[in-house]
C-alpha cells in the first residue's frame, strides 16, 4: 500500500494521476488540514510533522511513501530518507527541466509557495538552468487557501490568480511550472489569465517515478489487483469529502484523525 500525504487537498492532484497511471495500487491519503498551509511554518516544524505523519502511515500498513507536497518535500524528504533508509520515499520535483527544454521563447515561470521558492532545492535546480532560460519566480499567494475552501472558480479566486501573474506582464513566458500540488486545480483559471503559456504539472513524472520505485523494491501490485483507497483528514473531513465528490467525481468516506 502507498502512503501519501500533503498539507491538505493539493496532493489529490497527484492521487488523481496515480489512480489513472497505476489503477491497481492501493493508497491511503492523509490530508493534514489541521496544519494547512505548511508554507508559513519553519522547516523544523514541517520536518517533525512529516516524520509523525510517516510513522502513522507506516503503522497503517504503508510500504512506500509519497510526499505529495513541494514544501514538505523540500523541508523533510532528505531527513526522512536518512531515518528510513530502506523505505521508498518519493517527493515532488519542480518541473524546471521539462519547462526549460520545451520553451521556445527562452522564458519560463515557476509558480509556487514562498516557502518552496526560497527552498535550497528549487534554487539549486533553477541555477542549473538559468544560463539556458530566463526564469521568473511567482509566489502563489492565496492559492492554497482558495483550493482548501473549495473555491476553484469564484471571483476572489480569479482575482487571486490574476494578481499572481502580474509579474509576467509584458513578458514572453511560454511555460509555467506548477510548483505546488494545489495549483493544478486552478489550471483553467491560470490558462485563461495567461493563455500563451503551457502549464507544467509534475504529477505525471512523479507517478512514473513511483512506479519505478515500487518495481525496484519489489512492492508493485499485480496488474489485475483491485485497488482500495482510503482518505484521512486531520481537520474538516466533511469539506474534503465534498471536494472529492465535486472535483474528482467519486464518492469516498473521509476518516477524521487527531494526530498529536
Give yes or no: residues 6 and 76 share one domain.
yes
Per-residue pLDDT of 169-205, as tens digits, reads: 999 999 999 999 999 999 999 999 999 999 999 999 9
C-alpha to C-alpha distance for 140 and 163, rounded to whole angstroms: 9
* pLDDT reported for residue 109: 96
Give yes or no: residues 104 and 139 share one domain.
yes
* pLDDT reported for residue 186: 98
Per-residue pLDDT of 94-153, as tens digits, reads: 899 999 999 999 999 999 998 888 888 888 888 888 778 999 999 999 999 999 999 999
- If one counts the domains in the chain, the total is 2
Q: Which residues contact 199 (CB under 8 A, 6 or more apart)?
A: 176, 178, 184, 187, 190, 191
Residue 40 has pLDDT above 90, yes or no: no
- pLDDT cut 90: percent of the chain above it: 86
Residue 84 has pLDDT above 90, yes or no: yes
Give yes or no: residues 60 and 151 share one domain.
no
pTM: 0.93
* pLDDT reported for residue 132: 84
74, 81, 82, 177: which is closest to 121 by C-alpha? 74
Under 8 Å between Cβ of 186 and 146: yes
Q: Which of 36, 180, 192, 207 is catalytic?
A: 180
* Residue 180 is among the residues annotated as catalytic for this protein: yes
* Residue 192 is among the residues annotated as catalytic for this protein: no
Instruction: Give the domain-ending residue among 200, 221, 240.
Output: 200
Give yes or no: residues 83 and 160 share one domain.
no
* pLDDT reported for residue 104: 95
Give yes or no: residues 61 and 110 share one domain.
no
Query: 22 is written with which cell numbers?
Result: 497505476
Supply the mean pLDDT for the chain: 94
* pLDDT reported for residue 116: 87
Give the CATH number of the domain where residue 145 resides. Answer: 3.40.50.1860
Q: Which of 36, 69, 192, 207 is catalytic?
A: 69
Per-residue pLDDT of 47-59, as tens digits, reads: 999 999 999 999 9
Give yes or no: residues 14 and 87 share one domain.
yes
Give yes or no: residues 104 and 196 share one domain.
yes
Domain that holds residue 20: 2-92+203-256
Q: Which residues of 5-36 are buried (b: 16+ CB within 10 A; e: fewer)?
A: bbbbbbbbbbbbbbbeebeebbbbbbbbbebb
Give yes or no: residues 115 and 189 share one domain.
yes
Amino acid at each position: 500500500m502507498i502512503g501519501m500525504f500533503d498539507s491538505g487537498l493539493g496532493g489529490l492532484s497527484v492521487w488523481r494521476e496515480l489512480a489513472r497511471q497505476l489503477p491497481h495500487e492501493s493508497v491511503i491519503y492523509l490530508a493534514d488540514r489541521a496544519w494547512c498551509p505548511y508554507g508559513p511554518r519553519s522547516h523544523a516544524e514541517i520536518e517533525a510533522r512529516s516524520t509523525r505523519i510517516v510513522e502513522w502511515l507506516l503503522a497503517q500498513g504503508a510500504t512506500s511513501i509519497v510526499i505529495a507536497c513541494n514544501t514538505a518535500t523540500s523541508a523533510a524528504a532528505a531527513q526522512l530518507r536518512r531515518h528510513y533508509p530502506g523505505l521508498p520515499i518519493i517527493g515532488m520535483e519542480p518541473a524546471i527541466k521539462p519547462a526549460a527544454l520545451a520553451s521556445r521563447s527562452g522564458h519560463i515561470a515557476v509558480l509556487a509557495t514562498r516557502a518552496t521558492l526560497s527552498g535550497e532545492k528549487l534554487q539549486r535546480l533553477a541555477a542549473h538552468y538559468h544560463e539556458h532560460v530566463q526564469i521568473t519566480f511567482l509566489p502563489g499567494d492565496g492559492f492554497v487557501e482558495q483550493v482548501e475552501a473549495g473555491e476553484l472558480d469564484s471571483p476572489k479566486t480569479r482575482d487571486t490568480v490574476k494578481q499572481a501573474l502580474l509579474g509576467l506582464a509584458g513578458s514572453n513566458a511560454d511555460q509555467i511550472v506548477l510548483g505546488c500540488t494545489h495549483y493544478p486545480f486552478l489550471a483553467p483559471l491560470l490558462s485563461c489569465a495567461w493563455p500563451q503559456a503551457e502549464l507544467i504539472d509534475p504529477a505525471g513524472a512523479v507517478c512514473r517515478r513511483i512506479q519505478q520505485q515500487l518495481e525496484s523494491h519489489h512492492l508493485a501490485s499485480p496488474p489485475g489487483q483491485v485497488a482500495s483507497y482510503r482518505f484521512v483528514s486531520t481537520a474538516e473531513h466533511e469539506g474534503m469529502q465534498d471536494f472529492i465528490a465535486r472535483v474528482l467525481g467519486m464518492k469516498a468516506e473521509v476518516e477524521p484523525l487527531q494526530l498529536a
